[in-house]
Amino acid sequence: MTGSLKHQQTIRVLQEGDVMAEWGPMRLVISSFVGRVPQREMNVDAARHAFSTLEKIGQWREKLSRACPHIPNQIEEPLALEMVCSALTVGDADLTPMAAVAGTIADAVADYLADRGMTKAIVNNGGDIAIRLRGENSATVGIREDVRSHEFSHVIRLGSERASWGVATSGLGGRSLTRGIASAATVIAQKASIADAAATAVGNASFVEDRQVIQENAEKIDPATDIPGIAVTCKVGPLKEETRSLSLQRALRRAAELVERKIILGAGVVVDGRIGMTDFFRECLIDGFPDKRASFSGKL
C-alpha cells in the first residue's frame, strides 16, 4: 500500500453497472448481481465501504510493514489481523502482512456484497480478485502470462461448488516488488487474502542466481517498501533454457507445498515464456481461449 490517502476518493459507474473505486493506491472494479440483474447502486455502496476498509487498514500501516514475528500483539483491527493471519499461514519468514493487503480489501468488499444478498460478486483490486457465488452462478477470470501485459492468454472458470474464491497474481514488473524472476505467478485459493500472500511467495520462489538476473535492495527501488534490506529483482536478461526450467521448478515446488498443506487450491507460473501449473489450475482452464494448454509444462 504505497501512495497517500490524501488523494481524492473517486467513484465511477462503468458499463453494465460495474463501479470503479479509486483512492490513493487502491483501484477497485466492483461487480454484483442478483440473478442476472446487475446491482449498480449496491456497487456504489460497496465502493464507499471499500474506502472505509482502506482507511481502517491504513491506520496500521507501520506495524503491518514488519515481518510477522516482529508485529506487536496490540493490533485490534480485524482486517489488519486477517492480513497477519494470511502472511503467517503462507509461512515465508520475511513475508509481511502487506503482501495480503490488496486481497484482504477485495475480500472485505466482496463479503459486504454477499452479506447483502448478492448472488454473484466480483471485486478486482488491481488484479487481486475476490469472488462470491450462490446458486448456479460461475465466474471467469482472465490470466496473463506477464503482469505487464494488457492481454489475456488464458481464462479460468470458477463455479458454485465453492461460495468463495480468491485469485491473485505476482510477478516481475507488477505493482509490488518480487524477489523472483517469474513474469506471472497466479494462485487460486478460497480467499483473495490468502491468494495474494501465496502468489507473492510462489513468485519469490522462482529466483535463480544468474548473471542475467539483476537485483537491488528493495528500498532503492521503493523508499516506502515494507521489505527494506531484501534484494528484489529489477531486471532479467536473456535466460538459458536450464535457468528457465530451474526457476519454474522452484516456483511450482513452492506451490505444491501450499497445495499439500491445503493453503491454496492451485497455481500457474510463467518464466520467460515457459509455463507450468498444478492439476487444479489446469482443470479450471476454459478450452479454446486460446487453447495453449499443450505448451504448459511442469504439471504437478
Rounded CA gap, 106 and 154, in Å? 22
The answer to whether residue 256 sits within a structural domain is yes
Rounded CA gap, 90 and 254, in Å? 10
DSSP string for residues in 6-45: TSPPEEEE-GGG-EEEEETTEEEEEEEEETTEE-HHHHHH
* Total domain count, the chain: 1
The answer to whether residue 136 sits within a structural domain is yes
Cα 126 to Cα 40, 123, 136, 170, 268, distances in angstroms = 20, 9, 27, 11, 18
The answer to whether residue 47 sits within a structural domain is yes
Over the stretch 147-187, which tens digit does the pLDDT of each residue have?
998 888 899 999 999 999 999 999 998 888 999 999 999 99
Where in the sequence is the domain holding 33, given as residue range(s)? 10-295
Q: What is the dihedral of CA 247, 146, 191, 142, to 10 degrees?
A: -130
Specify the pTM.
0.91
The answer to whether residue 243 sits within a structural domain is yes
Q: Nearest 5°: CA angle at 269, between 143 and 80?
A: 80
The answer to whether residue 2 sits within a structural domain is no
The answer to whether residue 199 sits within a structural domain is yes
Q: Which of 117-121, 194-198, 262-266, 287-291 has the lowest mean pLDDT?
A: 287-291
More confident residue, 116 or 290: 116
The answer to whether residue 1 sits within a structural domain is no
CATH of the domain at 113: 3.10.520.10
Average pLDDT over residues 14-23: 94
**DSSP class of residue 140?**
E
State the residue for C-alpha cell 490470466. Answer: 143
Are the C-beta atoms of residues 95 and 177 closer than 8 Å to each other? no
Angle between helices 78-90 and 192-204 (to 10 degrees): 40
The answer to whether residue 3 sits within a structural domain is no
| Per-residue pLDDT band at 292 (split at 50, 70, 90) | very low
